[in-house]
Structure formats: C-alpha cells, structure tokens
Structure 1
C-alpha cells in the first residue's frame, strides 16, 4: 500500500508554510553572504549527525564525533558513534554533489552502499593468458632430465587423485536436494526477507511527484511524512532527513548548504512528530524547518561575532603566524583538541597550547586531560 496524500487544509497550514518559507530563504541568503559560511556549513554536519541519533533515541556527544572524525578517539568508539560518523560522511558527500544527485537512483544506491566497485567488474583480471603462458616459466618436459620427469609424474598422480575425489563429490551434490540460497546476500537473522526496500522506495518516489507541485517547504514535509510512514530502509532510516535536505536544494530553497533538519526536529515534541493526525504531523515538520533555520541564523551570528573578536588578536602578526589556521579550524569544528590544533598548524602539542592561549578560545570540557576548546 502506497502513501496517500489526503486533502490538505491550506487555511490551517498556510501560516506555518509562510513562516518556514521565509526562515529558510533568510538562512540561505545569510549563509551565502556570511564570511563564516564555510565554517557554519561544516559545523552543521556535526550538529545534525548528533541530532539525528538523538531523534532516533540514541545519545552521541558532539565532541566524541569530532575526535572520531579526526582519528583521535580518547576511548573505543561505540556502535552509535560509528553510525553517527556514517551520517556525517553521507552528509558531506551529498553536500559536495549536484543538488539532485542524492534523489536519483545512482545517488540513493551509493548512499545505501550498494554500488559495485569498478575494480571487481574488470573482466579477465587476475587470469592467466593461455596464449603467452601467463608469464609462467616455460618448462621443457622433453629435456630428458630424469629428475624432472619423476617430479612431473608425481604431480600427475596427485592431479589424477584430486580429480577422482572431485568427481565423487559432485555426484553426491547432484543427488542431494538443492539448498536455499539468499540471492540478496543478506543475513536473515538481521534483515527481514519480506521487507521489499525497492518497492517501498518506489512508493516514496511516487509521493515525490505529488510534492513537486507544492511549495518547497510543504513538499519537504510531505516527503518526510511519507518516509516516516513507509519506512523504505530497514537499517538506514536516518538517510531520510538528508534526502529531505537534498530535496530542498533541488527545489532551490536552500542552495548554499544541506539543511541541518534534525537540529530543528529536536525542538518538536514526539507527540507531535508521531501524531496519528496527518495535519498535526505536517505542521510539526514545518515548525521543525523553521526551528532549524532559526538555529542556523543564531549560529551564524555567534560565529560572526567570535571571528571579529579573534581577528583583533591577529593584527600586527607576522605573515608566517599559525594563528589564522587555528582560527579557521575553531570556526569549522564544534570542539578542537590540542592534537587537532597541532596537526592543522604543524606545531608541537606544547605549541598548540600556546596558540590556544593567544587566540583566547574557551575551554569547554573542564578536564585536566583530553581537554577541548570551542565556541559557545
């Protein structure tokens, strides 16, 4: 059964649609003109990845995600942290491609990890060319050497015995009943074999054709509601929010970045997001778009003010100073460690601590070891 879009009460939805459209347009324009737009976009990937896990009921700390992404974990990564990092990498991949790529068949297949490596598709790779001997040594068995002749006789005997054993085994296999083979290659203990992901994705795409005739924000809300209702993917449900962000990019509503939709979704109560009333769910998703846009504009203001304050410390500095690199790193990460600063600025850990003190970044962890600095 596909997703059915009922008659929409536009009189009720119109105020929420207008607010979401206005907030998204303002965020997109401010990001385009902001001098900290690049850092804002990169930070948004981390915040949305952690928020996506929060919406699904799992807790992942942003600082752990940052350190894991930099290959500087302070503890063994948890299963939830690995999933959050997968979300982070998927967001980066979508943000660097064409707006409509993630919604295409190739894009969804790539994000699901179903693409086939081109290397494995090469025909004839690793085989022996029988015409030229495959680069093997050309041994002349007719040389008359008795020692070599004895060795080849032993090899022929082994090959003949192996061929007899294989023939007997094949005869038993033919007489035995054929075993059931899962052509999909999925473990039935993990995946539901009756869950037809291709069919559900097809139904979700049918809902996309209906959403295209609606305003971008309302269309995105309809698509999100269809994703929550149909649940196309068994183990990658988090992909839906990124597809919604890609849909807004393809419609030209948010063209500068991939919207951190889950950040706004955190502000919406679960009783509204999971309401049995269709109109209530759509209003909740529209309000989530507005909340995400408002949070993004506040983040832009905070980053802009911080950059202005820190740039004052860069005045009268020599051209080879490492402080500009540290400033760019701080603006693009929610939290940074001494090791991350040392790697980015190419200095020693002691030198990284000196740069942090000169830049005046606030310490956020409150710990003596594995300290982190960032912008609040």
Structure 2
C-alpha cells in the first residue's frame, strides 16, 4: 500500500518543527566547534544502537556492545547484540561516504545486500545449478575435478526434499524451504524501496525536520526491508546530514525517541506520530548538548594530568580513547596505547577515570 502524504495539519506541526529546527542547528554548531566533536560522534553511534534496539523492544547492554565492537567479548554475543553492532557499523559506513549516499537507491541496496543487476553466471549460481548445461567459454570452464564435485553437490541437494516414488524432478523450484522460513516471497523489497524513495522526492520542498519526520513515518508504514527495519533510522539521519541540518555527525535520534511514550510513537493519528518524532529530535539535541558539556569538562580535567609528563607518554592516547567510547576496559586501553594491561591499569589510576562496573573482573571505566 503506497504512502500518501496528503494534507498535513500545519497548525499542530508548526511549533514542534520550529523547536526541532532550532535545537538541531544549535547542536550542530556546538559539535562542529567543539574539541570533543569527533569523540561525541563516535559515542553517538553506540548510544543510537542501544536506543534503537530499545525502541524495537530489545535490550542490549552498552558495555557488551562496546566490548563486542573491540572484539573483546566476555561471553558469546547474543542475536540482539549482533544486530546492534550492525547498526553501529552501518552508521560508520554512512558517515564515511558523502552526505546523501545512504538515502540513494545504490546506497540502500548496498546496506540491504540486494543486487539489482545480476549477470548470467550469478543468476545461474543463485538458482543452485539450474541451467548448468549452458555453453561456457573455454577459459571460464572449471577443472574436471571441480566440475564433477559441483555436479554431485547440485544433484544431491535434492535429497533434502521429499520426492514421491516413481517420479523424477527435472527443475528446482523457485523457492526452497529455508528461504520461506526467513523471507516472505510476496515481499517485494525493491518495489517498497522505490515507493519510499518517491516519498523522499516529494518531501524535498518541506523543512528538513518535517521532511525527516515524514520519511520516518513512511519507513514505518511501508516496511521496505524484512530483516533490516532498523536501517530507517540511519537513512533519516543521513537525510538530515545531506540537507546540511546536521553536518557534523549522524543524529542519534533514537536517543530522544525512546523518551516518547509508545502510545504516541505508534498512534493511529499520523499528526500525533509526526509531533512525537519532532519532539524526539528536540530531546536528542538537548541530550547531545549535555553530553558535550560533560565531555568538554572531562577533557579539561584529564588534560591537566598530562601536564609535566614526558613527550612519549601514553596518556594522550588513553584520553583520546576514553573520550570516544562510552566505556573502556584495560585491554582496550592497552591495545590503543600499545602497552600491557598492567600498564593500562596504571594509566587509569593516573587519570582518575570513574569505574562504571564495580566488580573485580572485567572492570571498565568511562564518562557517562
């Protein structure tokens, strides 16, 4: 079902739009001019991932996410933790590219892992052996041993399906059982993405925050991707960056969205949902300003402890890591500074960073 913008209730939307525009402009200016802007942007990726999962009804601990990103898990990662880390990596990928790349069709397809154009060979492989009798170039032919193994695998793959006695199957079906378990064959992701991109084209004439709210609501309504619904938040943040509203970083608006009651985020009335999203952007900006103040004050306090130290001290590297991660462990500090874990504990003691775990093993410190 296509998403229609229709007639908007500007009387109810005008106030929240103005407040969100002003709040985001102030936040962007602060982050651009701040000495801790880079660390703030990196920390925002983790806070956004955790809040995004919270809004979706899943709980992911910030500590586990940071350690998983550093490949220092203390336990086997859960399914929710893996998804949260995918959000972090998606935000980093969008930040590395030019503004607006993520909301383009090639960008969305790259995030979703959908290949729009397939050559004959990839199409043959996707059909798992169908059409393998087609003529191939002499230089592209497989060695006899590999070709024989490939043929045996293609033939024995049919054994997983029940075939009535006395019948012979000559063609593989378009869908297999495993495909039906994880994907709906009637869910046309490419078509739904096209519908969302059409909404993107229509909202270009609106104010940036109102356009972002409509895009978020359209993503929730259309649900273009079956298994990556969280991607919508990344795309909306990149949309604001492409318009120059928040150029310094990708806005972590799920941090503010989690403060909105679910009854407002999922209301039947679209105006209520749009107002909730606009207020969420204002709440995100307010939270970001407070986080900037904490990081700026912490940076000044930590830099005082570096005064008078030798030029090859590991303290500056430790400070940079502490300001760019919500929490750090001894092994993370040791890896960043190129020292031993015992030396990392000495750095923490010298910097006087607050411990956030309160336990004997797997201790962590940070600025929260």
Q: Does TM, scored on the shorter chain, surpass 0.5?
A: yes
Partner of 1:150 in structure 2? none
CA drift of 1:199 comes to 1.4
CA drift of 1:100 comes to 0.9
Deviations 1:204-240 (A, max 9, x none): 1111122111000000000001111111111100000
Q: Decide whether aligned partners of structure 1 residues 71 and 78 sit closer, same or farther in structure 2, where only a CA change above 3 A counts.
A: same
Q: Decide whether aligned partners of structure 1 residues 204 and 267 sit closer, same or farther in structure 2, where only a CA change above 3 A counts.
A: same
CA distance in 2, matches of 1:116, 1:278: 33
Partner of 1:29 in structure 2? 29
CA drift of 1:186 comes to 7.2
2:52–2:230 contact (8 Å) kept in structure 1 = yes
Deviations 1:190-213 (A, max 9, x none): 111111111111111111122111
* 1:108 pairs with 2:108: yes
Where in structure 2 are the equivalents of 1:254-293 lying within 5 Å? 254-293=246-285
The gaps in structure 2 that reach 5 residues or longer are 123-135, 156-165
Deviations 1:268-323 (A, max 9, x none): 01000000001100100100111111111111111000001111111011100000
Q: Decide whether aligned partners of structure 1 residues 14 and 186 sit closer, same or farther in structure 2, where only a CA change above 3 A counts.
A: farther
CA distance in 1, matches of 2:349, 2:234: 38
- Residue number among 325, 338, 342 corresponding to 2:317 in the alignment: 325
2:20–2:279 contact (8 Å) kept in structure 1 = yes
Deviations 1:335-366 (A, max 9, x none): 00000011111111111100000001000001
* 1:236 pairs with 2:220: no
CA distance in 1, matches of 2:303, 2:116: 47
Partner of 1:313 in structure 2? 305
Partner of 2:45 in structure 1? 45
Partner of 2:210 in structure 1? 218
Partner of 1:141 in structure 2? none
Partner of 2:80 in structure 1? 80
Q: Decide whether aligned partners of structure 1 residues 368 and 121 sit closer, same or farther in structure 2, where only a CA change above 3 A counts.
A: farther
Over the residues paired in the alignment, what is the CA RMSD in angstroms?
A: 2.8
2:326–2:366 contact (8 Å) kept in structure 1 = yes
CA distance in 1, matches of 2:340, 2:359: 21
The gaps in structure 1 that reach 5 residues or longer are 123-127, 136-158, 167-172
Where in structure 2 are the equivalents of 1:13-162 lying within 5 Å? 13-115=13-115
Higher Rg of the two aligned structures: 1
2:105–2:197 contact (8 Å) kept in structure 1 = no
* 1:180 pairs with 2:173: yes
CA distance in 1, matches of 2:207, 2:324: 32
Q: Decide whether aligned partners of structure 1 residues 309 and 74 sit closer, same or farther in structure 2, where only a CA change above 3 A counts.
A: same
CA distance in 2, matches of 1:196, 1:370: 46
- Residue number among 181, 197, 200 corresponding to 2:189 in the alignment: 197
Secondary structure of 1:373's counterpart equals strand
CA distance in 2, matches of 1:104, 1:129: 36
CA distance in 2, matches of 1:117, 1:360: 55
- Residue number among 172, 177, 199 corresponding to 1:207 in the alignment: 199
What TM-score comes out, normalization by structure 2 length? 0.85
Partner of 2:367 in structure 1? 375
CA drift of 1:115 comes to 5.0
CA distance in 1, matches of 2:80, 2:277: 25
Secondary structure of 1:336's counterpart equals strand
